[in-house]
A and B are shown apart, each in its own frame.
Chain A
């Protein structure tokens, strides 16, 4: 081992703590960089995989006319740039009439895929092949496979002259007759077929039309019959799919394809090419993915260079005199430079492999823990068990990361190494270290020298006396180091506050959803609608009867626990002045065009929604609203006004509080079910009736006084107001219906069924531990359909998949934000700790002198605390100012889609302040311990080498 290598290793060992902190910093930076890149390559691979899964791996596709087919297909079988290629010949099109309600009446006839190049699976993988549901693919002549929708269907001649027919209902083994050679003209008219031929049905298939991009997809026809390969003598055209190799740009592929398929006479698989790095100019997912990686990676590299570079400058500053001495003993500049770079190499040899491993392990853990989220984001379908996406990164990229990290490390060490090589021998011989104060302080001292008047006292000196003077001078001496500390602290503050803001605003966005009930929906709910046509009283009673039926259903399905059923319906009511808020009037006007329901004085006449809950729920809701459960007068019906509605505006949603101070309402049963209440110009209520004429195509409005139209009425007292949709009512759509809504006890409906039009019953269910959401949902639907009869219909809402994917994506986002900020934070902490503790340790000898002339432990601590307080204040000051700016930008970006007021995450701000104090405290404590352990005598004696 050379003398300089062993010198380097000893220096590293001597400053063990700083070495460890630096290595940890390198590990963190490398891990973060690797993590970002590995996540990106994995996502890119998953996107590519999904595209191949849903659209096939073809890069070029063409419809070849008979004249060009032979030469083109011939070239595909021999061209060096082709890995796999296949074709399918189109025998013609057919029309048909059927006894079933099929959505299309045009059938394409094409052959099964013929492999031109590559293996069978490679060639078939070029597109998405249909899955065989029953039977098999056609293999011999005159065999055909049809879409599964044709099973049991009888095809009859539609008289077009090119018609497909069957003898009877089609099954495996049936014979169908297909016309051959019939083409479609521009107007979609079939030409006359060249021949007809009989085929035996050997299979049924399910088309895989994810993107209308599979093997059986035609622009012209909705369904496709597949006959055996090579079973067509004169195809009307030939479809060809191929991929390429050795072509790395879109233009190269175009240049390759033109002579085979004709200039611009072919299709490129744009999405696939984009994921393969051959995007056209427009921005794509890949481009934004790359952009994000570049930005995040750039931030990491800059942070890492700053942190590592700082660590090396300290290391060099610490040993300035040693370098001077080495140089006086004949060390060349190159040798000195190499000494520092050697240090970087040693640190990199430890830090980079560990960082790479940690980064890959971290990404693997993140991918598997967020498997559900990645399924939701990147897979075409969700299955019961989360599959996630695999960690994909090529060895070349890992090697690239290692090299990049190493270059970052060397770049960081370069400037300090250069400085080390310029240390002169004189520096070693001089006793006093060269002290450079800040320009500001230097000017003040020069002025004092010129005038003989002592420099003006600085702030710290005034506050903390002599320790303050020492602190402020020291701060001024190491201003560049101070800047590092301040910037690192400010960066940490910004990161903490930003991640706080992200979770704050995400939370508040969710809260809006909560207020509206959007996120409160139960896992599975059963809704039964009563579509009986009768007077309100009869319908409402029948709906109340449904409550008993659904309670019976609830017991029949294992794995589900039901909550209390909620009966919902509408009513026609008038509310006195002051009931509607100004915001409510604007809202109603916005939704109802001409607003004749809400008066300027806050009165209302018109339809309202109501949900009836059982007694327990009613009591709970009244307690929540702080209201009594019964009306004060004892006779009127109690109700809670639901004072929240969703207001959707172009791209944003916000909540509206439509009620002012509602006190009471009068509910009316109107003679005509088509009638509704309105306010007249004088503020009284009118009844407007819409009378259909003809068969519902037109109608006339008539207005009558309320007395003439009313059958019965009742009074409602608002005992309280609900400001958000209660959890129990999450499955009702009360907040999103653009109508004023209220909640009442079910007993009110039971007592006065005729005053309300109760038409639906909702039962929310929770899923028992371990029950499969999809199976139980199906079981519930079956049970409901078996029980419900007559004019009632049942629907099961299964929110599992939707909710899971929302939760998972939100969770993933939070996880990524958290990982990123935590790691950035650790880098900043390492930076601050390194800088601060070393700057203190560097001055050991000075401290010893101060102590020997009588600076006590208290004064010493005061001096360090004053120094750190200055860092803390500046770091926090800048940090908080920038945080406000960054949070404001984030808020601006977010508020384009959600209506949120600007707010700072105060908890996180407090956390940032505490964090800054803690980091500085820790560094000072460490430095104090180090300088305390040092004997004054030894420190004084040590001639700084």
Chain B
């Protein structure tokens, strides 16, 4: 079943001669439970693609369908609800809210939705992320790896339809990188969490059964292995 289908997606930044075509007529589908790596060099358009998948940016043309529904037919308010329920984002630079502690950062999307926090799930998540004992630390009291684990917790907390990770290991040493990828992979394997990882790291890309390569805003290859 396709959870995400992208058709003729184009994104142009700027106008006139200064216009940059970051994405150029990209079409692809992602199935539920898939683990996809999107690779490409700097400026290839992979981050733009991720933002469009996550409902953060709006496309110049083309559609993004999540569970068959057009994401960008929504109003800003509806789009915000979409982001908090259906998408989990993980950034290279963690992007945690500095004034909130670990537990509050992780539960942010749930509380934003006005729902009650499932304490059991929270505890399970915190211990699987290895953050037990750090629940009430502020982000600046944590190491980079720990911060990225909090970001992953935040992305997974709501059991979103899709988790989008943009260079999640780009800012970490190899030991922490391995740890983060292990966490993401296990969420995909154990929880059937659909996962898209954007990376330029060959090792990371090799972990994914499907690798989509983007160059100059176009899909140049889409390989499935195993």
Contacts and interface: CB of A to CB of B under 8 A. Distances in A.
Interface of A: 431-435, 437, 445, 448-449, 452, 454-455, 465-466, 469-470, 473-474, 476-477, 845-846, 849-859, 935-937, 940-941, 943
A477 B83 CA distance: 27
Contact of A433 (B77, B98, B101): B98
A854 B83 contact: yes
Most chain B beta-carbon neighbours within 10 Å: one of A435, A845, A856, A859: A856
B81 A854 contact: yes
A854 B80 contact: yes
B77 A857 contact: yes
Contact of B57 (A437, A855, A859, A937): A937
Interface stretch (B34-42, B87-95, B181-189, B194-202): B87-95
A477 B136 contact: no
Contact of A449 (B91, B94, B111, B137): B137
Interface string B129-161: 000010111111000000100000010000000
B217 interface: no
Interface in B50-68: 51, 54, 56-57
Nearest to B85: A854
A470 B97 contact: yes
B56 A937 contact: yes
Contact of B112 (A455, A477, A859, A940): A859
Given A448-B135, A470-B99, A937-B48, 17 more contacts: A432-B96, A432-B139, A435-B98, A445-B138, A448-B101, A448-B136, A454-B136, A455-B136, A469-B100, A846-B98, A852-B54, A854-B109, A855-B84, A856-B76, A859-B80, A940-B56, A940-B91
17 contacts: A431-B93, A435-B138, A435-B140, A445-B101, A445-B136, A449-B136, A469-B111, A851-B83, A852-B54, A853-B84, A853-B108, A854-B109, A855-B112, A856-B79, A859-B80, A937-B51, A937-B57
A352 to B, nearest CB: 39
A433 B96 CA distance: 11
A936 B114 contact: no
Nearest to A936: B56
B99 A431 contact: no
In the A-B complex, the 3 residue pairs with the smallest Cβ-Cβ separation, listed nearest first, are A854-B84, A856-B80, A473-B99
A941 B91 CA distance: 10
Contacts of B83: 851-854
B5 interface: no
A465 B108 CA distance: 11
B24 interface: no
Contact of A850 (B87, B97, B113): B97
B111 A466 contact: yes
A781 to B, nearest CB: 81
A465 B57 contact: no
- Interface of A (DSSP majority class): helix
A849 B95 contact: yes
B80 A940 contact: no
Contacts of A432: 94, 96, 98, 139-140, 147
A853 B104 CA distance: 13
A857 B76 contact: yes
A454 B93 contact: no
A434 to B, nearest CB: 6
A851 B109 CA distance: 10
Given A466-B112, A470-B99, A943 B93 contact: yes
Contacts of A477: 98-99
A455 B101 CA distance: 10
B97 A849 contact: yes
Interface residues of B, number: 45
Contacts of A473: 99-100
B80 A857 contact: yes
B93 A474 contact: no
A444 B6 CA distance: 47
B47 to A, nearest CB: 8
B56 A437 contact: no
Contacts of A851: 56, 80, 83
Interface of B: 47-48, 51, 54, 56-57, 76-77, 79-85, 87, 89, 91, 93-101, 103-104, 108-109, 111-114, 133, 135-140, 147, 154, 171
A792 to B, nearest CB: 88
Contacts of A465: 111, 114
Contacts of B103: 454
A321 to B, nearest CB: 13
Contacts of B80: 851, 854-857, 859
Contacts of B140: 432, 434-435
A474 B100 CA distance: 9
Contacts of B147: 432
Contact of A431 (B51, B77, B94): B94
Nearest to A852: B56
A941 B56 CA distance: 12
A854 B84 CA distance: 4
A266 to B, nearest CB: 77
A824 to B, nearest CB: 34
Nearest to B98: A435
Nearest to A450: B136
Nearest to B48: A937
B112 A854 contact: yes
Given A448-B101, A469-B104, A858 B77 contact: yes
A452 B133 CA distance: 7
Nearest to A857: B76
A848 B112 CA distance: 15
A455 B102 CA distance: 12
Contacts of A455: 101, 136
A474 B99 CA distance: 7
Contacts of A845: 95
Contacts of A434: 140
B149 to A, nearest CB: 15
Contacts of B139: 432, 435
Contacts of B81: 854, 856
A130 B47 CA distance: 96
B33 to A, nearest CB: 23
B152 to A, nearest CB: 12
Given A452-B136, A465-B111, A936-B57, A853 B154 contact: yes
A853 B136 contact: no
A434 B101 CA distance: 14
Contacts of A854: 80-85, 87, 109, 112-113
A433 B57 CA distance: 25
Given A432-B98, A445-B136, A856 B111 contact: no
A856 B78 CA distance: 8
Contacts of A849: 95-97
Contact of B89 (A448, A852, A855, A857): A852
Nearest to B52: A937
A940 B50 CA distance: 13
A929 to B, nearest CB: 15
A829 to B, nearest CB: 28
Contacts of B98: 432-433, 435, 477, 846
A825 B117 CA distance: 46
Contacts of B76: 856-857
A615 B83 CA distance: 84
A845 B133 CA distance: 28
Contacts of A449: 136-137
A935 B98 CA distance: 21
Contacts of B111: 465-466, 469
A470 B105 CA distance: 11
A941 B111 CA distance: 25
A432 B136 CA distance: 17
Contact of A940 (B48, B95, B135, B138): B95
Contacts of A943: 93
B19 to A, nearest CB: 16
Contacts of A853: 83-84, 89, 108-109, 112, 154
Max chain B C-beta neighbours (<10 A), residue from A477, A849, A857: A849
